[in-house]
Structure 1
Amino acid sequence: MALDSNENPDKSISKFESMLKTDDVYFFDAEDFEEIIHHYLNNGKISLGKKAIQIGLEQHPNSMELKLLRVEVLVFEDQYDVAERLLDEIQNIDAHNEEIYIQRANIQSKQDNHQEAVNLLLDALHLTENSFDIHSLLGMEYLFMDDYEKAKRSFMKCVEFDDSDYSSLYNVVYCFEFLEDFDGAIVYLNTYLERNPYCEVAWHQLGKIYLSKKMFKEALTSFDFAIISDDSFIGAYFEKAKVLEKLGRYNEAIENYETTISIEDPTSHAYLRIGKCHEKLGNNDLAKYYYYNTVHEDPLLDKGWLAITDFHFKMENYEKALYYINKAINIDGENPIYWKKCAKIYFVLKNYDEADFAYKQAVDLGNYEFDTWKNWAEVLKNIGDYGSSIQVLVQGLEFYPESAELVYKLAGVYLKNGEVLNAKEKLAQAMQMDVEKLHQFEEEFPELQKVVWISEIKKTST
């Protein structure tokens, strides 16, 4: 039983699937097969796509388009040798088909031969006027090669072909940003907006660039135009709120954050920012309310737990701060920021053993910040474990060798540990590095001011 199929794609697909379930054989035009195959491939139904290609080639064995679709599937499945042989066969029949070069380029790209892929795509450009897709593929290859200048030009070509190709527009802006050519991005987007004055995506991107340059007035104007172009554009409201927050206009910022919640389901980030604004306004109860909503919405958002912890720490509710940071650690014990914050709270509570353990965890998890080494050494000094304090300071100086502050501290701890020669050496070194910070040493170790040789070193340095 053979039937022509000139119906719409949905009917073609239904008829094709009906054929698979029965012993009937339906005839489809090659174009129908192409639509059916594209439908399956675009929806990730590769096995059905392969079945359609097989039957399609049985009915239309000379169809170049169906053969090229088979090549596409072979490349997807990493069967490069089979794909290349089929491409050779196609090229012998139709040497000027640009899709052959595109598929060969795809094979080279998947094998990380990006320059060869570029060469093949450039060959394809000579064979067609409809080169939008080729420029897009070229742009991606240049990105793989970290050639952002050429990538930018390729994506610009795509935008020239189609002003509504926002994916390419984003990529153009990305390249400008990576090249740190923010002024160039501003000129490009303003030129684009002269042609497309109601493009919310371009206004949004322009606003973000102005924001990165701290041009807050221009950023606000851009986000306002994005909202005028699309009054449901959540990203524009959120970015506008961030600008208002930076300008200290917290009530207006809250209004814009709340708008994002009214348009779509609330996000933890919106709750967090609203909480921060209320805290700045002194609305502590509201701040606390939104911080709790933040972690309820996303228990894995570290900034939410840190905001609650910092809030209670600032209010000197240290036990509550400790409770919430430990709750965060129970959720994500691999987060070094949590452990560092935990150590800071234990230090204030004078629980030095726990502070020591928390700082060790933070460092083991990769936190090597200056104040981590300094404060951990201070904890160990307070315990009276001068040897360990020295080890921590020596480690810290590997990361911050120019820090006179750490060297001064090391000199003091050496002396408290009875290592006079090392103390003399480090104190002289620290004073040579920055004599103006000597007062910090005197404030931290006032009991050492009576040591005779320290007075002598101070005299010789002034």
Structure 2
Amino acid sequence: METDDILEALDSKLRHLSQAGAIEPEQIHPVAIITRERRQIGDLEKDLQQVLDTIKYDVRIPPLLTQLADLHLREANHSRAILLYEMTLGLNSEQVGAWISMGLSHFMIGDPKDAISCFGSALALEPENVTALVYLAMTQMKKGELDECNKNLDMALRIDPKMPRALLGKGRYFKAKGNLDLAVTWLKRAVQVDPAFIPALMELGSIHKILKQYDKAIEVLTRVLSIDAEQADALATMGDVYSEKNDLEKAIYYYDKAVSIKFDDPELWIKKGDLHRARKTYQQASDAYQKAINADPEHVEAWVRNGAVMLLMNDEKTALEYLNTALALQPNNAEVAHQRGLILYSLERHDEALSDFDLAFSVDPGNPIHLYYRALMLEILGRDSEAKRTWIVAQRLFEEIGDTSKSAECKARIKRIL
């Protein structure tokens, strides 16, 4: 294709596919199904990349790159989005919206320093840009800088007293401060301004859940789902509510719907797995934990949970493999080391189990249960003098934390060695 044809085709397809208005955090999520038109945009993007160096000073390029970046941001393809924002801003640094969107992308991937820098650049161009002020405040809140966050929210509300996201920010600020009553007041103001403002409704539902006001939480979340039936976070929170109500059937129903939309969220898969485990449907639990691993292969807890459920299925060798991986990912995790030690103990690999209990205690010296099993392994291995010393220390630690039963058991074992 000729260069002009590439630019015209790409611009046309992006205009057709892009959504109106600014990008909201709640709109950012991976795409489950790639449409034919989206694939065509991908092909045109590759074509553009090949000729970009020769036409980058064409006035059509910066807005086109911004549209492409926005598309990638909406699809949660943050690395590509940020790269494209950097390119377009390198050509035209006065695009306030691009600075804000790039900051939002950094915020979404947990990079507050660069997010703050981007929002600062936007505010340098437009000091009263309320959106930039609010996102800056949200980033500061994430960093724990609550005073600075509150100052920026107040500034935003002085400029626009009825901006729903600024009102939401105040609600989240008071929630972070532990003042749930004031948080609810501000969130209700946001909903009064915009009755369909899902983030504020979601926060209200979350606070009702925290306060164990389950009926109120369900009412608010049902309202959210009537606005957007595919709001994954609302579905997940509904699952949380029913889980806390011990209605596991309904909880799984909502988690199923949530993961069908937010399929790359390991925490959701783990919640689903935990419910199946509670219902003793272990294979389904394992399947869910495996999906969590697929979503994030470095998610230690997912490996541990799958290992634990394998034990419940009497598959000790597979359980050991999962815990080996978990410990490789997080070598100083005392809980994982202890769990692996227990499996090795059950497999009568006592030397290896001893090493794991030693590791667990070195990382978590305040927990005498590691010493308890260390002493047990030493006894089995015939190292009685070391076992006795370990039992003595364990007995003292159990006594300090008020575990009289374990303390008495340690005393009995000390006497037996004598």
TM category (shorter chain) comes to 0.5 to 0.7
Matched, 1:310 2:274: yes
1:360 maps to 324
Q: Which has the higher contact order (CA 8 A, sep 6+)?
A: 2
Of 171, 177, 202, 2:136 maps to: 171
Cα deviation for residue 44 of structure 1 reads: 2.5
TM-score, length of structure 2 as denominator length? 0.66
8 Å contact 2:307–2:318 — kept in the other structure?
yes
Report the identity percentage: 18
What residue in structure 1 maps to residue 90 of structure 2? Answer: 76
In structure 1, the residue matched to 2:27 is none
Task: Find 1:44's aligned residue among 51, 61, 65.
Answer: 65
Secondary structure class of the residue paired with 1:451: helix
8 Å CA contact 2:136–2:152 kept in 1: the answer is: no
| Aligned 8 A contact 2:335 2:360 in 1 | no
Normalised by the size of structure 1, how large is the TM-score?
Answer: 0.60
* Distance in 2, Cα, partners of 1:372 & 1:315: 24
Matches within 5 A, 1:295-334: 295-326=259-290, 328-329=292-293, 333-334=297-298
User: What CA RMSD, in Å, does the superposition of the two structures yield over aligned residues?
Assistant: 4.3
**In the aligned structure 2, how far is the partner of 1:306 from the partner of 1:262?**
26
In 2, Cα distance between the equivalents of 1:375 and 1:74? 51
Shift of 1:363: 1.1
Structure 1 position 240, deviation (Å): 1.5
Is 1:424 the counterpart of 2:388 in the alignment? yes
Contact 2:202 2:221 in 1 (8 A): yes
Retained in 2: the 8 A contact 1:250–1:277? yes
Deviation at 1:339, TM superposition (A): 1.6
Structure 2: state its 5+ residue gaps.
1-56, 68-85
State the one-letter code of the partner of 2:274: D
Aligned CA distance change for structure 1 residues 381 and 195 (closer, same or farther; 3 Å): same
Distance in 1 between the 2:396 and 2:200 partners? 53
Contact 1:156 1:169 in 2 (8 A): no
Q: Please say which structure displays the higher CA radius of gyration.
A: 1
The aligned counterpart of 2:377 is: 413
Q: Residue deviations 1:298-331, cap 9 Å, x none? A: 3322122212221122223334423443455466
Question: How far is the alpha carbon of 1:204 from its aligned partner?
Answer: 0.9
Corresponding residue number in structure 1 for 2:413: 448
Q: 1:351 to 1:172 in 2, by over 3 A?
A: closer
Query: Aligned to 1:197, which of 124, 136, 161?
Result: 161
The amino acid across from 1:285 in the alignment is: E
Distance in structure 2 (CA, Å) of the matches to 1:442 and 1:242: 42
CA contact (8 A) 1:152 1:175 kept: no
For the residue of structure 2 that corresponds to 1:248, the secondary structure is coil
Structure 2 residue 363 is the aligned partner of structure 1 residue 399: yes
Q: Structure 1 residue 434: deviation in Å?
A: 5.4
Q: Work out whether residues 408 and 427 of structure 1, in 8 Å CA contact, stay in contact via their aligned partners in 2.
A: yes
Can you list the C-alpha shifts for 1:58-86, whole angstroms capped at 9, x where unaligned? xxxxxxxxxxxxxx999938xxxxxxxxx
Structure 1 gap segments, 5+ residues each: 1-35, 47-71, 78-102, 107-130, 454-462
The 1:361/1:247 distance shift into structure 2, 3 A limit, reads: same
Query: Which amino acid counterpart does residue 279 of structure 2 have in structure 1?
Result: M
User: Residues 355 and 446 (structure 1 numbering): CA distance in 2 closer, same or farther, change over 3 Å?
Assistant: farther
1:226 to 175, 178, 190: 190
- Measure, in 2, the Cα distance between the counterparts of 1:392 and 1:268: 40
**Secondary structure, in 3 states, of the residue corresponding to 2:162?**
coil
Cα contact 1:223–1:236 (8 A) shared by 2: yes
Return closer, same or farther for 1:177/1:305 CA change in 2, 3 Å cut-off: closer
Report if aligned partners of 1:411, 1:426 keep a CA contact under 8 Å in 2. Answer: yes
Pick aligned residue for 2:243 from 275, 279, 284: 279
SS in 1 for 2:65: coil
Deviation (angstroms), 1:381: 1.8
Distance in structure 2 (CA, Å) of the matches to 1:170 and 1:447: 61
Q: Which amino acid aligns with 2:136?
A: N
Q: Say if 1:301 and 1:211 are closer, same or farther in 2 by CA, change over 3 A.
A: same
Provide the rounded CA distance (Å) in 2 between the counterparts of 1:418 and 1:222. Answer: 66
The count of corresponding residues between Structure 1 and Structure 2 is 336
1:337 and 1:146, CA in 2 relative to 1: closer, same or farther beyond 3 A?
Answer: closer
- Equivalents in 2 of 1:425, 1:340: separation in Å? 31
